A and B are shown apart, each in its own frame.
Chain A
Amino acid sequence: MSEKQLESTVAAAEYQKDWFAQLRRDVFENQKPYAIVQADMPLELFQAMDVPVVSNQWWAAIVSAKRLSPMYLDCMNGRGFHDGLCRYCSLPLASTLCGDAAPAPWGGLPRPALIAARLTCDCIQRVFGIWSEAFGTEFIALDAPGASELPPRWWELSRHRWHELFEEHRLDFMVVQFRKLIERLERLTSKNFDPDRLRTLMDGVNRQEEYFEEVRDLICTAPQTPVRMQEQVSNVMATQWLRGSEWAVSHAKRFRDEVKARVGRGIAACPVERLRLMWIGAGLWHDMDFYSAFEAEHGAVFVWSMYLAFGPDGYIRYGLDDPLKALASRTVSMNEQLHNPPWANEWIVDQARQHRIDGALVLTPLGTRPSATGNRFIELALERAGIPVLPVFADMADARGWDPAGMRRKVAQFLEQRVAPAVAGRNGD
């Protein structure tokens, strides 16, 4: 990744690496249990039961950033898994099955006590089923009924009126599944679940996301963005995997303080910022330098991704009398919020307006289908709002089909031919 401008970014990266090293020591030397889970699982329950979790998507990002995805994915194809299968959610599985193809980052994933996933897409129970066999460990699945009532401006209801936002039967079903998961975690840890502890943790999550909201507001209102998108992602995601914990809340505050100070001192991430860009979709983990490649020549800065923006709108829940139900409301519809109409398109256009976005790049990942949905509606909504869109067809984790130079040329052309003229037109130049 290009230079890190914020001290908190360096601190977040160091913390994550140390955290993982400690996890390995705890597992290997002290036989402590840990879990591997999908990113949209209720991580809070594991944390409230003192079971550390590794997010599948986080590990995929690490593997990809270490440029290991081609070796692992080629190996999977060699084992008979065809090349049309989803890659983002299965790259960590590949690092387990194909461990001989290349040493995994940071010593690799130790054997978890259990693995768990919400069954959003159809393949996920198969991916986790194969993985649980490979590890010789238990797989816990949370089923996922589909949403059928979707008030378009969901973010206006999600904090205080989340009871109204999600269908009651979906919330209740999720809570029933949570209780079963809790029973399993109680057996694993020989501890009793304490709802008050979960409530405290959820309260911590709210505070953490409130800090992120302040950062988001600063990015919206400062003359130029004080923090690059990729540094937003590093700081936010390091804490989201441990959300509500003492470290996560304090790191969110530290990040907020640093960004606020930069704004106060008039420091911009890119002093020549002229064009503000939005990245829609998961990060390009194998080429994070892509995001700062258009600053010097075009003054084009990526100021928005879902990672920071979704924190406040997607996670904050006020009214924690029933913390399990509140947690269910956080968990039950993440995919619809980020990737499906009407929620994704309505929210993203609103975000684009608040962030004074000039142009948007929309990732349609060819190898990860659930993240690809909703994109045509998003593109249409942005264009209708006067924001030029460049669709990007690539995979966030698989570097094999990525043409870094070609894509940079394509984006440069988009900036010159569509974004800059649109901005000039708006400014009456």
Chain B
Amino acid sequence: MPVAGMTSNTVPWELLRAAGYFPVMLNPSGEPTPVADRFMEDGVFSARIRGIFDGITSGAWPFLKMVVIPRTSEQEHKCFLYLREMGRQGLSKGLPELYLYNLLHTRSAEAEQYGLERTREFSTYLQADDLATAIEESNRACRAIRKLLAFREGAEPRLSGTEALALIGAVYFMDRAEYAQLADEAAADFSRHTPLRGPRVLIKGSPLHHTGLHRAIESHGAVVIAEDDWWGSRALTQEIAEHDDLVRAIFRAYYREAPSPREASNEWFLARSATVDGVVFYLPQEDDVLGWDYPGLREALDQRGTPSLLLREDAANDLSSECHQRIAEFVRKLDT
């Protein structure tokens, strides 16, 4: 089965699947990125996007037949242009086929119509045939994730944030039918787990494609019960309608539900943060988007009496002892 790489959560998995691809989220391992270092400007691209660029151009991922890049962040569009240029100039050989999926995120009738047209175009381009089966597989995975998320709810969660992030994030790398089965088995197992004690924390910030931050917070006795993040609580949040216009149904799920840095609503966060003991804002040095929301959100939390902590260290690496100390103090404060 040909493999199609995706750079983020807004690539319609179902279209690729229906066209006979094995869609997989591209997620670099954190190894050195010599090609990206040469062509991508420092401080402009996140480590993850640099890793993706490097993986594709260095030939480290020869199994990729195609890479689909959504217009879901400015970095991704630039990455698309850079990849094309590498091919045009012959700076990288054997690049996979590249496709820019022009999904917009403003909430307007025009943007919605434009996105729907681009989705139909993409579907036709791929010759995506069996949409119904692909949607069904995806929906099973969605339901399985919901079951897992349920173990993070309530006064006595049974699933730690660290475990949850790893389990939920796996959906982006697996066959979704198989994922649903394994996640269901895991859920059955978690129902027998001892409830977790500790202050209930919500994370808001840059997408976490690793469990470093969750591990750090939970090592100090808190439980991360949710994150405003497509790798965790906001992965595949809603099932796709399995009837009528299937392409439209797929498009809507991504346009309306999938988080993106270009979608400025904090509705989900504000509702979710009302149910936790504290919030950790995670804005590593590479952030240049959510930092604009931070003062306003912090103020909203202050007014509500919800404590918050801002962390700016990159949690993909080991956090400093000073940072750990700040987390420990914060958790202690929540516990009293």
Q: How far is the CB of B297 from chain A (nearest CB, A)?
A: 10
Contact between A122 and B74, CB atoms less than 8 A apart:
yes
Contacts of B117 in A (CB 8 A): 169
Contact between A126 and B294, CB atoms less than 8 A apart:
no
Per-residue CB contact flags for chain B residues 63-107 toward chain A (1 = under 8 Å, else 0) read: 000000001011101101110110010000000000010101110
Contacts of A372 in B (CB 8 A): 41, 43-44
Per-residue CB contact flags for chain B residues 121-142 toward chain A (1 = under 8 Å, else 0) read: 0000000000000000000000
Segment at the interface with B among A4-12, A37-45, A173-181, A208-216: A173-181
Contact between B298 and A340, CB atoms less than 8 A apart:
no
Contact between B88 and A152, CB atoms less than 8 A apart:
yes
Chain A residue nearest to B82 (CB atoms) is: A341
The answer to whether B287 has its CB under 8 Å from any CB of chain A is yes
Contacts of B296 in A (CB 8 A): 130
Give CA–CA (A127, B290) in the complex, Å. Answer: 11
Contact between A143 and B106, CB atoms less than 8 A apart:
yes
Contact between A82 and B294, CB atoms less than 8 A apart:
yes
Q: How far is the CB of B303 from chain A (nearest CB, A)?
A: 15
Contact between A122 and B262, CB atoms less than 8 A apart:
yes
Among B41, B102, B261, the one with the most A-chain Cβ atoms within 10 Å of its Cβ is B41
Size of B's binding interface in residues, CB under 8 A: 47
Per-residue CB contact flags for chain A residues 102-145 toward chain B (1 = under 8 Å, else 0) read: 00000000000000000111110111011000000000010101
Contact between B41 and A373, CB atoms less than 8 A apart:
yes
Our pick among B43, B44, B106, B295 for the contact of A119 (Cβ within 8 Å) is B106
Give CA–CA (A86, B40) in the complex, Å. Answer: 18
Contacts of A264 in B (CB 8 A): none
Contact between B292 and A85, CB atoms less than 8 A apart:
yes
Contacts of B293 in A (CB 8 A): 126
Our pick among A80, A145, A336 for the contact of B298 (Cβ within 8 Å) is A80
Contacts of A120 in B (CB 8 A): 74
Contact between B81 and A81, CB atoms less than 8 A apart:
no
Among B74, B75, B100, B289, the one with the most A-chain Cβ atoms within 10 Å of its Cβ is B74
Per-residue CB contact flags for chain B residues 283-306 toward chain A (1 = under 8 Å, else 0) read: 101111101111110100000000
Our pick among B118, B283, B288 for the contact of A169 (Cβ within 8 Å) is B118
Per-residue CB contact flags for chain A residues 63-92 toward chain B (1 = under 8 Å, else 0) read: 000000000000000011110111000000
Our pick among A85, A177, A364 for the contact of B41 (Cβ within 8 Å) is A364
Contact between A122 and B81, CB atoms less than 8 A apart:
no
Among A84, A345, A364, A370, the one with the most B-chain Cβ atoms within 10 Å of its Cβ is A84
Segment at the interface with A among B108-116, B244-252, B313-321: B108-116
Given contacts A81-B295, A127-B292, A150-B81, contact A122 B41 (CB under 8 A): no
The answer to whether B312 has its CB under 8 Å from any CB of chain A is yes
Contacts of B81 in A (CB 8 A): 147, 150, 336, 340-341
Contact between B43 and A366, CB atoms less than 8 A apart:
yes
Contact between A84 and B291, CB atoms less than 8 A apart:
yes
Contact between A126 and B110, CB atoms less than 8 A apart:
no
Contacts of B105 in A (CB 8 A): 143
The answer to whether B38 has its CB under 8 Å from any CB of chain A is yes
Contacts of B73 in A (CB 8 A): 122
Contacts of A336 in B (CB 8 A): 81
The answer to whether B166 has its CB under 8 Å from any CB of chain A is no
The answer to whether B155 has its CB under 8 Å from any CB of chain A is no
The answer to whether A427 has its CB under 8 Å from any CB of chain B is no
Q: How far is the CB of B85 from chain A (nearest CB, A)?
A: 4
Q: How far is the CB of B125 from chain A (nearest CB, A)?
A: 12
Contact between A119 and B292, CB atoms less than 8 A apart:
no
Give CA–CA (A5, B40) in the complex, Å. Answer: 39
Contacts of A81 in B (CB 8 A): 291-292, 294-295
Chain A residue nearest to B72 (CB atoms) is: A122
The answer to whether A99 has its CB under 8 Å from any CB of chain B is no
The answer to whether B174 has its CB under 8 Å from any CB of chain A is no
The answer to whether A153 has its CB under 8 Å from any CB of chain B is no
Contacts of B108 in A (CB 8 A): 143, 180
Contact between B114 and A342, CB atoms less than 8 A apart:
no
Contacts of B289 in A (CB 8 A): 122-123, 126
Give CA–CA (A84, B71) in the complex, Å. Answer: 23
Contacts of B38 in A (CB 8 A): 376
Contact between A369 and B295, CB atoms less than 8 A apart:
no
Q: How far is the CB of B105 from chain A (nearest CB, A)?
A: 8
Contact between B118 and A119, CB atoms less than 8 A apart:
no
Contact between A121 and B74, CB atoms less than 8 A apart:
yes
Contact between B295 and A148, CB atoms less than 8 A apart:
no
Given contacts A82-B287, A129-B264, contact A148 B80 (CB under 8 A): yes
Contacts of A173 in B (CB 8 A): 110, 114
Give CA–CA (A247, B293) in the complex, Å. Answer: 41
Give CA–CA (A152, B81) in the complex, Å. Answer: 12
Contact between B102 and A146, CB atoms less than 8 A apart:
yes
Give CA–CA (A123, B74) in the complex, Å. Answer: 9
Contacts of A340 in B (CB 8 A): 78, 81
Contact between A146 and B77, CB atoms less than 8 A apart:
yes
Q: How far is the CB of A100 from chain B (nearest CB, A)?
A: 16
Contacts of B298 in A (CB 8 A): 80
Give CA–CA (A147, B71) in the complex, Å. Answer: 10
Contacts of A342 in B (CB 8 A): 84-85, 88
Within 8 A of B (CB), among A148-179: 148, 150, 152, 169, 173, 176-177
Give CA–CA (A145, B106) in the complex, Å. Answer: 11
Contacts of B40 in A (CB 8 A): 376
Closest 10 CB pairs of A and B: A80-B295, A126-B292, A341-B85, A146-B77, A148-B100, A146-B71, A122-B261, A143-B106, A145-B102, A82-B291
11 contacts across the A-B interface (CB closer than 8 A)? A119-B106, A120-B74, A122-B73, A122-B74, A126-B289, A146-B77, A148-B100, A342-B85, A376-B38, A376-B39, A377-B39
List B residues at the A interface (Cβ < 8 Å).
Answer: 38-44, 71, 73-75, 77-78, 80-82, 84-85, 88, 100, 102, 104-106, 108, 110-111, 114, 117-118, 261-262, 264, 283, 285-289, 291-296, 298, 312
